[in-house]
Amino acid sequence: MDRNLALELVRVTETAALASGRFMGRGDKNGADGAAVEGMRLAFGSMKIRGEVVIGEGELDEAPMLYIGEKVGCGTQEDMEVDIAVDPLEGTTLIAKGLPNVISVIAMAEKGCLLNAPDTYMKKIIVGPKAKGCIDIDASVEENLRNVAKALDKDITDLTVIIQDRERHADIISDIRRVGARIKMFGDGDVAAGIATCFEDTGVDILLGIGGAPEGVITAAAIKCMGGDMQCRLNPMSEEEVKRCYQMGLTDDDINKTLYIDDLAKGEDIFFAATGITDGDLLKGLVHYDKNIAKTHSVVMRYKTGTIRFVDAIHRLDKSEILKNLMKKYGRK
């Protein structure tokens, strides 16, 4: 497909960011999430695609918009059928507290090319392009770090591992410290943390740990666009999560098998877009509002061409009916 949907997709994440950015630091994570979801859903309405949400806000009975299976876009039979994975507001707790690294994010691919991951946990290991092919989810932490250090021509003590600050990672953190690598903790935001491995100026070399499976699929789309590498394995942490896997038709073998990046996001037509809502390592975020003007910072990617664009946008809020209505509802009265 010659049409670059990434440039259209960024308008969707921008709209979600502009709507939810009003809630920064207000202690209302549900309000922020609701604004992001509404903004994203409205923006999808103007995209000429035949889209289906495969990773979204939950099942139909759990989410009024962007639920799994929902059809989005205004495309006709001539337009592309696509799978869509969304996280309208990654970091709901973060935005409620006014903390960094909140983003709005979307991955999109041809129909059947994004893994319909169950809402469970997933073990992940992610690296950038220079360490591609050097990771093994079954190897020890030390072995993986030594292989990545060799690929990057670094001493292992110069490596930086990004890992979520959770009790479940105590053993991994202990192993990292034992071999002498550096650690960068993050609170929330699996997608932003994973993408950081592919940008040298973030200082992050590898992600290790257990995070959300749906977020893993979104991350995989970006990592593939950037030429990085990723291995995963489903890691349900309760009987309820195991049951959820079975309900999706997965077997024990499916749950225990290694998932490579092409298992998560396959094909040539893969697109990714993210817009910063608060300042972060990758995106400037902190949506700026000034009367009828707002500014956003985004990244958009396309696997087919390998293009990565950073987009600084200035929005006239009074020129778009969607933005005008969202600002009236969530911004100034």
212 is in an annotated binding site: yes
Residue 263 parent element (H or E): helix 261-264
Write down the pTM of the prediction.
0.93
Can you read off the two tokens belonging to residue 270?
Answer: 């893969």
- What's the pLDDT score for residue 284? 76
| High-pLDDT (> 90) share of the chain, % | 77
Q: Band the pLDDT of 3: cuts 50, 70, 90.
A: low
21 is in an annotated binding site: no
188 is in an annotated binding site: yes
Give the tens place of pLDDT for each residue, 109-133.
999 999 988 889 999 999 999 999 9
240 is in an annotated binding site: no
332 is in an annotated binding site: no
- What's the pLDDT score for residue 311? 94
85 and 26, same structural domain? Answer: yes
143 and 79, same structural domain? Answer: no
- What's the pLDDT score for residue 7? 83
Give the tens place of pLDDT for each residue, 269-310.
999 999 999 988 788 776 778 878 999 999 999 999 999 999
154 and 44, same structural domain? Answer: no
252 and 164, same structural domain? Answer: yes
- What's the pLDDT score for residue 58? 79
267 is in an annotated binding site: no
Residue 178 makes CB contacts below 8 A (sequence gap 6+) with 142
257 and 289, same structural domain? Answer: no
168 is in an annotated binding site: yes
Last residue of a domain, one of 222, 243, 264: 264
The amino acid at residue 297 is H
189 is in an annotated binding site: yes
- What's the pLDDT score for residue 61? 65
Average pLDDT over residues 22-45: 94
| C-alpha to C-alpha distances, 132 to 114, 127, 145, 198, 229, nearest whole angstrom | 21, 7, 13, 10, 5
79 is in an annotated binding site: no
Q: How many Cα neighbours within 13 Å face the side chain of 275?
A: 32
Give the tens place of pLDDT for each residue, 131-173.
999 999 999 999 999 999 999 999 999 999 999 999 999 999 9
Chain-centroid distance, C-alpha 168 = 21
Do 182 and 161 contact (CB within 8 A), yes or no?
Answer: yes
CATH number at residue 191: 3.40.190.90
User: What's the longest Cα–Cα distance across the chain?
Assistant: 57
167 is in an annotated binding site: yes
Residue 1: pLDDT over 70: no
- What's the pLDDT score for residue 288? 79
150 and 81, same structural domain? Answer: no
181 and 99, same structural domain? Answer: no
| C-alpha to C-alpha distances, 190 to 107, 216, 273, nearest whole angstrom | 14, 8, 15
151 and 259, same structural domain? Answer: yes
Work out how many domains the chain is built from and give that number.
2
**For residues 33 and 37, what is the distance between their CA atoms, to the nearest angstrom?**
6
81 and 143, same structural domain? Answer: no
Q: What is the mean pLDDT of the chain?
A: 92
51 is in an annotated binding site: no
Closest CA to 130 of 228, 260, 226, 224: 228
- What's the pLDDT score for residue 6? 79
Q: Give all strands (DSSP E) within 115-263, no chain letters.
A: 121-127, 160-164, 182-186, 206-212, 229-234, 259-260
The range of the structural domain enclosing residue 245 comes to 121-264
